[in-house]
Structure 1
Amino acid sequence: MTDSNLFSLLSRAQSLLDKGFATLPLAPSQSLDSQAAEILNEAATRLHDNYPYEHPLYAGQMLKPPHPIARAAYALAMSINPNNHALDGGRASSAMEIEAVAALAKMFSWPQHLGHLTSGGTFANLEALWIAGQLVPGKKIVASDQAHYTHSRISAVLGLHFVSIPSDDTGRMDLVALEAELATDKIGTVVVTLGTTAIGSVDPLDRILALREKYGFRIHVDAAYGGYFTLASNLAPQVRAAYDAIPQVDSVVIDPHKHGLQPYGCGAVLFRDPTVGHFYKHDSPYTYFSSKELHLGEISLECSRAGASAVALWATQRLLPYMPGGTFARGLESGRNAALELNHHVAADTRFMTPLSPPQLDIVFFAARDPHTTPTPESSSALAQRIFDQAAQLDLHLALANLPIRFFPPGSFPGHSTGTVTCLRSVLMKPEHFEWIDPIWQRLVQATQEALRS
């Protein structure tokens, strides 16, 4: 959909929305003049100072453009600017949020749930760990050393003791190390990451559930990045087993503003046991005077929340339902296929080194090397930086990540088995990326040739 088509559809929808308030007497409204036009033009010019996040040649960080219907629905809702903290502030958008969150719960095969949207995964994870601290006070929170840093930070904010569990050589939580901590009987919650933000590794949730039977603890799944892959049909068997175990966990976080085609910020937290809602109870002298029903604001630590986010997500779900084999699911599968294809090209080239584990979702990372010399972490890191810079000159935008050497086969860096190396990293999360692998690879090869000559 072109922007002109989007604006045309939005204009017609706006007219329909305006008719819903046509019985009101006319009131003064603000308009934009020539000065405003100049300011908007200046803003547009200033925004040139960005990477082309929406283009397939942007294959760096996990930045995915919102779907046109999400943009249109968000803009439409902004003419009202609803606040989903209370029914008084967002009646229709609150109902849409309930429906949108129910669609997420259904995707995870939860027949019942308690949940709501948040400003993003950080706050969603905060709520999940806050509930965990209420249910198992005094117990520790554990997560993999490849989990998002937000978990240790949030635990500190909440006054909870956090323990980092080592990962194995594929970036997944080491279950031997985990069980050693569980044996102390001091662990209350295990954070399981389904799709780490660095390399897309998927913790073995199915095997961690077996440990829960033995030791007893809560399981919180941080699927902010990778949650939607539960719909994909082309996952490796061990990854598929982890996703199939989601219905048995206690809480899940997912970010629709990552793979869910939504504008920032739109996260979500869901609890399998709706009775945890009683921990949120509070007394407000003014917020809920128009409704006796339990409202989203009464089950959220966040107060003001953008109702427009709920409208955008609801509209996107109506157009692209969460169903295996559907258009939305095929987009995820396409991104994963793109990652596998790029990894295949990289693995066959002597100028690159691939990790022990192939892509588990849609993130590819690899180290660079001069095939005529013995690689060291320092020389590889410097070459990766030069390739990164040269690729940008060719309009190919990658990312850099400092990752453990142990993620690569033994002997990749002779004499070095510990420490880190700066790697090139690519998140191929756009459905179009698969069709663009050849142009991406051609530019990467050209950038590498230039970097080796410099």
Structure 2
Amino acid sequence: MTLSRFPLEPTEQERAVVQQAVETYVQSFLTQLPSLPAFVDSPEKGAGLLESPIEENPIDIEEALALLKTEVDTPGITAASGGHLGYIPGGGLYYSGLGDYLAAVANKYAGIFFAAPGAVRMENLLLRWMASLIDFPADAAGNLTSGGSIASLIALATARDAQKITSRVIPDAVVYTTAHAHHCLDKALRIAGLGECPVRHIPMDAQYRMRPKELEKAITQDKAAGLTPWLIIASAGTTDVGAIDPLPAIGQIAKAFNLWYHVDAAYGGFFALAPSGKPKLEGIASADSVVMDPHKGLFIPYGLGAVLIKNRQQTAQTHHYLANYMQDALSATDEASPADLSPELSKHFRGLRLWLPLKLHGVGAFRGALEEKLGLAQYAYQQLQQTPGFEVPVVPELSVVIFRYVPPPPEEANTFNQKLIKAVQQDGRVFLSSTLLDGNFMLRLAILSFRTHQPTIDLALEILKEKAAALEQAG
């Protein structure tokens, strides 16, 4: 084989050898995936990587792939598996992987319109399409981010400036949400310099949704006390139970008191595509900002969130900066540059990993998959209700089913369910997670992998019954 005289520029022949090895590995992984465990509790946990340190001389691709398989792809959660029913899973669409490959090889800089007008147009086109799904205006500001955490930071920093929350008023500037809001929102408040803002956790109803009357009462009391209410954060799909807060009523309250209204729809937003999901999100259009993650509801691999903000001018005022060395990059265009609407300047061309599967599969395929997940959640809920010993306290609004096993006395339920989740995870055929709900240790089925179908749910239910019976017998 002829070697390149430039070590970092492999020849066509060298590229072909490596690419073939990588594609063989990928195809083998996808072929084996249905039979792979969803979770492997490896005692080494990838420590074998440390036995192959970064060195002066290269290794061949086969050796590198062997390390990848044993030390990275095998231990832990198999996130690409349909048996991943634990945390809200990131997808793993094959065409997304090809999109990332094309984006990385061409290496277009997608931060500034001048540098890559087509790439920026593609990302803005995708954001306008997302805005249309939730009935946001076409000229809303938007940004494709690494995930919901950065998307939330962009939204809350914009809200801070729009509401004129300066350092002088922060200790009296009140935020309203529920105890089930995602922790990334607390983190975003802290990073945005708002950690001293009082945060009111508004009481929830029996289905763990914010109670609007309690929200209005809290705002009225804070205003009477001389405080400055400024931000309401509602959820469209909580992590714990998948609940959707009453978005229309909360929007009316936000408008009445002139507060910024943010909706965290990172998990639930793309259910707007599903025929039975769209009505559940009624009222989301009244929000000032919305976060929705394609790496959740559109089954894209980890690393793609999105934020939409109605006030484009305010978003730009919060995030836009100009340096002298960037003067050549100024462009007269209606297409906003991502760097002007987010903290990022250096930016991967994330849009291609979403655009390519949307074009190659068509939106209808995503619509059908999302509708299937809603149906599977109802199926799992009904099956658990009919299974002796299991308690299912929340009717699923989206695709999270929360439940526990109630053993006969004297076994304590929390202790039993801790043993049950451990037994299911050690079994490895499916992966489930747990949470605490009003002090009760609960198990979760999070159904959002495009590879999860009814046989997967049936298998999970069978494993749960099997492990619960074994634990009861063991005493």
* Shorter-chain TM-score above 0.5: yes
Choose the corresponding residue for 2:469, options 424, 449, 454: 449
Q: How many residues align?
A: 402
Q: Please give the alpha-carbon distance, in whole angstroms, between the structure 1 residues aligned to 2:367 and 2:303.
A: 22
Tell me the TM-score normalized by structure 1: 0.82
- Per the alignment, residue 63 of structure 2 pairs with 38
Please, which moves more after superposition, 84-93 or 176-185? 84-93
Q: 1:182 matched to which residue of 2? A: 219
Among candidates 337, 343, 354, match of residue 375 of structure 2: 337
Residue in structure 1 matched with residue 125 of structure 2 by the alignment: 99
- Identify the residue that residue 429 of structure 1 maps to in structure 2: 448
Within a 5 Å distance, the mapping from 1:140-289 to structure 2 comes to 140-160=174-194, 161-163=197-199, 164-183=201-220, 184-185=222-223, 186-235=228-277, 243-276=281-314, 277-287=316-326, 289=328
In 1, Cα distance between the equivalents of 2:269 and 2:416?
34
What secondary structure, in the 3-state scheme, does the structure 2 residue paired with 1:79 have? Answer: helix
The verdict on how the C-alpha distance between 1:337 and 1:431 changes in structure 2, with shifts beyond 3 A counting, is farther
Hey, what's the Cα distance between the residues in 1 that align with 2:217 and 2:179? 15
State the Cα distance separating 1:302 from its structure 2 match: 2.0
Query: Is the CA contact 2:112–2:329 (under 8 Å) kept in the aligned structure 1?
Result: no
The structure-2 alpha-carbon separation of the partners of 1:51 and 1:342, relative to structure 1 and needing over 3 Å to count, comes to same
Give me the whole-angstrom Cα distance separating, in 1, the residues matched to 2:324 and 2:338.
Answer: 17
Q: Residues 124 and 267 of structure 1 are in contact (CA less than 8 Å); yes or no, is this contact kept in structure 2?
A: yes
Aligned equivalents of 1:210, 1:298: Cα separation in 2? 31
Q: 1:162 deviation in Å?
A: 4.1
Of 73, 79, 102, 2:99 maps to: 73
> Match for residue 58 of structure 1?
84
3-state DSSP of counterpart to 1:58: coil
Shift in Å, 1:92: 3.4
Q: Which amino acid aligns with 1:373?
A: P
1:34 and 1:241 map into 2 onto residues whose CA distance is 55
C-alpha spacing 1:246/1:55, structure 2 compared with 1 (3 Å): same
**CA distance in structure 2 between the aligned counterparts of 1:77 and 1:369, rounded to whole angstroms:** 51
Unaligned segments of structure 2, at least 5 residues? 1-22, 28-56, 166-172
For 1:213 and 1:95, locate their aligned partners in 2 and report how far apart those are by CA, in whole Å.
Answer: 33
User: Quick one: which amino acid aligns to residue 345 of structure 2?
Assistant: C
Amino acid at match of 1:46: E
Residue 328 of structure 1: how far off its partner (Å): 0.9
Residues 394 and 453 of structure 1: CA distance in aligned 2, closer, same or farther (over 3 Å): farther
3-state DSSP of counterpart to 1:450: helix
Equivalent in the alignment of 2:36: none
- Distance in structure 2 (CA, Å) of the matches to 1:365 and 1:241: 22
Corresponding residue for 1:10? none
User: Aligned-pair distance for 1:46?
Assistant: 0.6
Whole-Å separation in 2 of the counterparts to 1:167 and 1:438: 32
Relative to structure 1, the CA distance from residue 50 to residue 288 in structure 2 (aligned partners, 3 Å threshold; closer, same or farther) is farther
- Partners of 2:174 and 2:238 lie apart in 1 by 21
Aligned residue number for residue 108 of structure 2: 82
1:374 CA displacement = 6.3
Q: Secondary structure at the match of 2:231?
A: strand
Alpha-carbon distance in 1 for matches of 2:362, 2:219: 39
- What's the counterpart of residue 15 of structure 1? none
- Aligned partners of 1:165 and 1:35: how far apart in 2? 57
Matches within 5 A, 1:294-443: 294-307=336-349, 309-322=350-363, 326-355=364-393, 357-370=394-407, 372-373=408-409, 379-392=412-425, 393=427, 395-404=429-438, 420-436=439-455, 437-443=457-463
Aligned position for 1:16: none
- Structure 2 CA distance, aligned partners of 1:33 and 1:427? 42
Give 1:441 shift. Answer: 1.7
Cα distance change of structure 1 residues 83 and 165 upon mapping to structure 2, 3 Å threshold: farther
Q: Distance in 1 between matches of 2:122 and 2:62?
A: 34
Aligned residue for 1:124, secondary structure, equals: helix
In 2, Cα distance between the equivalents of 1:382 and 1:288? 63
Contact 1:394 1:447 in 2 (8 A): no
C-alpha spacing 1:102/1:320, structure 2 compared with 1 (3 Å) = farther
Structure 1 unpaired stretches of 5+: 8-31, 405-419
- Cα-to-partner distance string for 1:267-289 (whole Å, 9 max, x where unaligned): 11111222222333312122352
- RMSD of the alignment, in Å? 2.5
Q: Is the 8 A contact 2:248 2:286 kept in 1?
A: no
Distance 1:432-1:119 versus aligned 2 partners, 3 A rule = closer
Check conservation: 2:114, 2:331, Cα contact below 8 A: no
Counterpart-to-counterpart distance in 2, 1:64 and 1:154: 21
- Equivalent residue letter for 1:62: I
Distance 1:280 1:58 in 2: 37
Once residues 115 and 300 of structure 2 are traced to their aligned partners in structure 1, the CA distance between those partners, rounded to angstroms, is 22
Confirm or deny: 8 A CA contact 1:53 1:64 kept in the other structure. yes
Aligned letter for 1:118? T
Change (3 A) 1:341 1:333: same
The amino acid of 1:384's aligned partner reads N
- C-alpha deviation, 1:85, in angstroms: 2.2
